[in-house]
Amino acid sequence: MPSVPTVPATVEPLPSPEILWRSERPELVALQWEARRRIASPWGMLAVALLESLLTIPHGVLYRSKLHPDGSPLNLAIALVGSSGAGKSTLYHGVAYALEFLGADVPDPESVRSGEGIPALMGWMEKGEDGAVVLVWRRGDHAVSLHYDEVGQLGAQAARTGSTISDAIKSLTSGERLGGQNSKGDGLTIPARSYRAVVTVAVQPSRAAPLLNDEAVAGGLAARFVYALVEDPTIAHLPIPTRSTERVTVPLTQRDNGVRFVDALPVMDAAHEADTRAAHRGEREPVDSRLLLNRAIIAIAFANLAGRAVLIDEDWELAGAFMAQSLQTREAVQDAVAAPVEDQRARLEAKMMERMQTMRGEGATFQEARRRLSRPQGDALTAMIRESRFTPW
């Protein structure tokens, strides 16, 4: 009689986020040092480094596990969590200072207003001498990086009648076909699995509903995103390092052999199996349906940062620590989204009052102080004056 295979009962718990920064990998040391020097979030800087690492991997390389022997594209979406203008440019400049992807031309982040605009960032259709229409790629590596400055912008676009932006992001991360042809044969089609794509969205926690509401969860958009802190209170007290560290060179010759697949480790195959069985038992939350796939893609990005085309156990462990931080951040964002409107208004008013008192103490006139407020704070001040809860000086 054939033996019955052992079925893993549950997925192993994620490691603690703190283990990631105990690593002695040169690239992680350089990123952490640069984050400290710029008083920036190491999680946000690492998120950008991981995305750029993925963008340097040839678009034809796929992640292969036992459950998916045909492979999965290495595309990823990350929510950068912080207040508006929380330092995206600092993260990208910091990564460029800490790491050099040797010989790579990493695409700059671009923005589009609709799902239909995404294929145009990748290429265009051109008629050849024989009359046949062919796709011409804008970049030889078929790579694209999308960024949305505010999650509200993404939500507003998604809410428009006929908008395809949410579906396009889901298609991008899955490496599906983009665009299409009309009845006249016009249009632009990007074939499935023919490109590398990463997506970033700047997320203010209280405005993150477009990524986490019931529709986003049911439609699969919520599961696409990994979360990284851009504003991290744990770094506020850390001193700026005085001893310099060297810029780390990330070699890319590990991809020159043309290997198409990055194979899962045995521990990864076991995790995928346990997770899939848990889903069939109704024990996996829909918002976590891509958690292990995202972890695997991040593990591959870690391996690539270390100059390897194959995975080792440490890559999986580090990716797990990053995902643990992501889940903690997502939970905090969910709490902010669920907070009553009254609580959000009270926090805004308290912050505004504190700023006004500080500026008054510095000798500013009421009108000068009012001009320095953000628009939401100014609106809150106007309401408080109208309701006789604030007296100008």
- Is residue 49 within 8 Å of residue 99, measured between CB atoms? yes
Strands 187-190 and 178-181: antiparallel
Distance, CA of 122 to chain centre: 20
- Say how far apart CA 266 and CA 268 lie, in whole Å: 5
Mean pLDDT (whole number) for 296-301: 98
Mean pLDDT (whole number) for 237-251: 89
pLDDT at residue 162 in the model: 42
Strands 196-203 and 99-101: unpaired
Mean pLDDT (whole number) for 125-130: 84
pLDDT at residue 335 in the model: 86
- Is residue 315 within 8 Å of residue 304, measured between CB atoms? no
Has residue 195 got a pLDDT over 80?
yes
- Say how far apart CA 337 and CA 345 lie, in whole Å: 13
- Say how far apart CA 132 and CA 122 lie, in whole Å: 20
pLDDT digit string, tens, across residues 17-68: 999 999 999 999 999 999 999 999 999 999 999 999 999 999 999 999 999 9
pLDDT bin (cut points 50, 70, 90) of residue 320 is very high
Among the listed residues 128, 41, 29, the one whose alpha carbon sits nearest the alpha carbon of residue 88 = 41
Mean pLDDT (whole number) for 216-238: 91
pLDDT bin (cut points 50, 70, 90) of residue 112 is confident
Backbone φ, ψ for residue 392 (5° rounding)? -60, 150
Most confident of 154-168, 217-231, 251-265: 217-231
Has residue 8 got a pLDDT over 80?
no
